[in-house]
């Protein structure tokens, strides 16, 4: 999950090959393609323009969609030497500790990390099992958090008053703060967080806990954080799965956002497009029949 690949801008000879390359990446795949070098898209466009106006137009359309869908990711300040070829530039970033790229697509294959396009055989999604630690949750969600203007954490058991959850939220908030995020929402089941009775002191404690997480994560002033506690008993939109969601994509986490005992693992996987659309309807557009018991909100100062 969250792997970043790079491809030689000259590796695709036809727009059908470019389409195949781009289809292997993006939030729904759980892996991304880097704009490397920084003008990668322009280089690809120029290559197809030289073939002819039809291929050039098709390439620009494919690249525009890839940018809109966050298939292509820009990483600033990556080393580039114009005096050597693309692979000579990219290979050191593949071998770096820690590595910048998980794999390369080039005209010369060097298995297992450097692939030729016609032999590129990546799994449909980058699902994996991870240790239930805060650092691993942050690793698999880093890019999605960075590119998303609004984030929703969905977990019926999500309780920032418990260290097992607040320890995980802190690095995730920190990753979001470094990116485009303007708003973070947390969705949980009211009965599992505040109990069956309305308790103003618990609500106040929840806000205090979230403010402490925000301070520890160095969330920038002006960002909004809210927690939505719902009663979903007998509702069609019953909260069950645990997700990290944004309009860009989503990640399913089978054990939610809690730190687990040493050795315990979590299954994580990208959310498919159809499921993602349905989840956006519920958690971003309010198309659900769950009763909102508490909506706690504050602006980071």
Whether residue 260 sits in one domain with residue 200: yes
Instruction: Check whether residue 206 and residue 226 sit in a common domain.
Output: yes
Please tell me whether residues 114 and 181 are part of one structural domain.
Answer: no
The pLDDT > 70 percentage for the chain reads: 99
The whole-number pLDDT of residue 197 equals 61
Q: How many domains does the chain have?
A: 2
Are residues 197 and 61 located together in one domain of the fold?
A: no
CA dist list (Å): 297 to 157, 216, 224? 19, 18, 7
Query: CA-CA distances (angstroms) from residue 19 to 120, 160, 196?
Result: 13, 43, 52
Q: Enter the tokens of residue 225.
A: 């954080």
CATH of the domain at 244: 3.30.870
Strand, coil or helix: 33? strand
Tell me: the pLDDT tens digits for 159-176?
999 999 999 999 999 999
Q: What pLDDT does 10 receive?
A: 95
One domain, residues 155 and 58: no
CB 101 within 8 A of CB 4: yes
Q: Which of 93, 119, 145 is the C-terminal boundary of a domain?
A: 119
171 with 54, same domain? no
Q: Could you read off the pLDDT of 188-216 as tens digits, one per residue?
A: 999 999 986 666 778 899 999 999 999 99
Instruction: Note the pTM of the prediction, 2 decimals.
Output: 0.92
Q: What is the mean pLDDT of residues 94-123?
A: 90
In this structure, the number of other CB atoms found within 10 A of the CB of residue 95 comes to 11
**C-alpha to C-alpha distance for 203 and 226, rounded to whole angstroms:** 12
Please tell me the predicted confidence (pLDDT) of residue 198. Answer: 61
CA gap 37, 8 in Å, rounded: 9
The alpha carbon dihedral of 115, 39, 147, 172 has a sign of positive
Owning domain of residue 50: 3-119
114 and 237 fall within a common domain? no
Q: What is the mean pLDDT of the chain?
A: 94
- Report pLDDT digits (tens) over 25-41: 999 999 999 999 999 99
Tell whether 280 and 195 lie within a shared domain.
yes
- Quick: pLDDT tens for 219-272: 999 999 999 999 999 899 989 899 999 999 999 999 999 999 999 999 999 999
pLDDT number for residue 201: 78
Looking at the fold, whether 278 and 147 belong to one and the same domain comes out as: yes
Contact 89, 18 (CB under 8 A): no
């Amino acid at each position: 999950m969250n792997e970043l690949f790079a491809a030689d801008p000259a590796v695709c000879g036809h727009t059908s090959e470019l389409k195949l390359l781009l289809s292997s990446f993006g939030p729904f795949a759980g892996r991304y393609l880097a704009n490397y070098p920084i003008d990668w898209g322009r280089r690809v466009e120029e290559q197809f323009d030289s073939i002819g106006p039809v291929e050039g137009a098709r390439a620009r359309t494919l690249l525009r969609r890839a940018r809109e869908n966050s298939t292509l990711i820009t990483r600033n300040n990556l080393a580039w030497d114009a005096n050597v070829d693309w692979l000579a530039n990219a290979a050191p970033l593949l071998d770096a500790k820690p590595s910048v790229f998980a794999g390369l697509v080039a005209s010369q294959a060097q298995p297992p990390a450097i692939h030729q396009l016609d032999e590129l055989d990546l799994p449909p999604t980058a699902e994996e099992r991870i240790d239930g630690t805060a650092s691993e949750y942050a690793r698999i969600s880093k890019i999605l958090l960075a590119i998303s203007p609004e984030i929703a954490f969905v977990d019926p058991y999500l309780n920032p008053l418990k260290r097992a959850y607040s320890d995980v939220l802190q690095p995730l908030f920190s990753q979001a703060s470094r990116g485009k995020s303007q708003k973070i929402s947390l969705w949980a089941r009211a009965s599992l967080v505040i109990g069956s009775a309305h308790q103003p002191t618990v609500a106040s404690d929840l806000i205090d806990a979230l403010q402490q997480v925000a301070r520890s994560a160095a969330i920038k002033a002006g960002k909004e954080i809210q927690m939505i506690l719902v009663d979903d008993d007998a509702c069609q939109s019953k909260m069950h799965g645990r997700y990290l969601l944004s309009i860009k994509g989503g990640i399913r986490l089978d054990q939610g956002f809690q730190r687990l005992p040493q050795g315990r693992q979590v299954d994580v996987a990208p959310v498919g497009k159809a499921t993602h659309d349905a989840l956006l309807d519920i958690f971003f557009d309010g198309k659900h029949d769950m009763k909102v018991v508490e909506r706690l909100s504050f602006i980071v100062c």
